[in-house]
Structures are given as structure tokens and as C-alpha cells.
Structure 1
Amino acid sequence: MNIELQALESNDTWSICSLPISKQVVGCKWVYKVKFRADGTVDRYKARLVSKGFAQQEGIDYLDTLSPVAKLVTVKMLFSLAAIHCWSLT
């Protein structure tokens, strides 16, 4: 968890600021996963800090969303589809 927090801080993922009076905090939780090698032995333990987006309420904080990160493979696939179907990209 400390490594994950250090990575988030070094990438300037967030900045500390005061919460507006009319807003509610969206909570977060840790998600743990064990990564295994092909032979079944433990390779490493992973920890991710994720937000509880399901706690948002429509009309209050529903429009405040987090920015998902797209994988390069997904972007390449979208470009391929756009080229095949002659779609314009903006």
C-alpha cells in the first residue's frame, strides 16, 4: 500500500484542497490481488486504491466523474475502426 501511495503522489494524481460546503466526499477502498507465476508460485502482491463511485447521487454529485485511463491497445483499436468505417476523429 505504501508503494501504491508513493506512486500516486509522485505522479501528482491528486492535490489536497478544501471541500466545498455543498459537496459530499466520495470514499475509497483498497483492493488487493495476488499475482501468480506460470508455475503457480506467488509472483507479487498488488494493492490498488479505488474510489467508491457507486456512492454518488444523481443530481447532487453525479456529474462529477473520475477520468478513466485508456490502454494503448484500446486506442489503437478505435483508430483502426475509425479508419475502416471512414469515421472522423476529433
Structure 2
Amino acid sequence: MAGKIDHDHPLYLSSSDVPGAVQIGIQLTGMENYTLWSRAMELTLLTKNKLGFVDGSIKRASYTVDSEKKQWDRCNAMVLSWLMSNVSKELVSGILF
């Protein structure tokens, strides 16, 4: 991955993409609010061009250059941090492991 990543590329992270930056206003507590939470999270990840990290369409294996793999790891970790900040404490371990 030579040079800068275009802002439309899924591996792009802006300076505002930090852990905890994504707050959808709904904390997932279980099945009772999953539908609403998942739609709000889906829209948020779509606007950040990161939905593929959750639905599996952006795969680490599709990147062959070490720097791209490292950037994929960074983006994936960021998405995980966004998910963790929007679920109840009881559900966080399901994301981490």
C-alpha cells in the first residue's frame, strides 16, 4: 500500500475514527432491542465504509501486502471498539472472544 489511502477505500481511517467515536444512541442489551440496534449500527458502519468488516465482505486474506494487512488489522480493531462501546457490559465478552 504505497502512499495515502483514498478516503473512499475501506481501509481508510480518518483522524476522527478513534475508539468510542461511534455512539449510535442505543446500547445493545439483548434480543429485545437487537433489531433496532443492528439497523442503527449498520447505517453508521455504512457511512464510515466499514460495514464489510462486520458482514465479512472485507476479508484480510484479500490483502497480500504486509502494510495492507496491518491496516486491515487496525481497521478491524477500530470497528470492534465501536461495537464494544455500543453494547452492554454483559455482552462485551461476546465481541472480544
Q: If the TM-score is normalised by the length of the shorter chain, which range does it land in? A: under 0.3
Structure with bigger helix share is 2
Rg larger for: 1
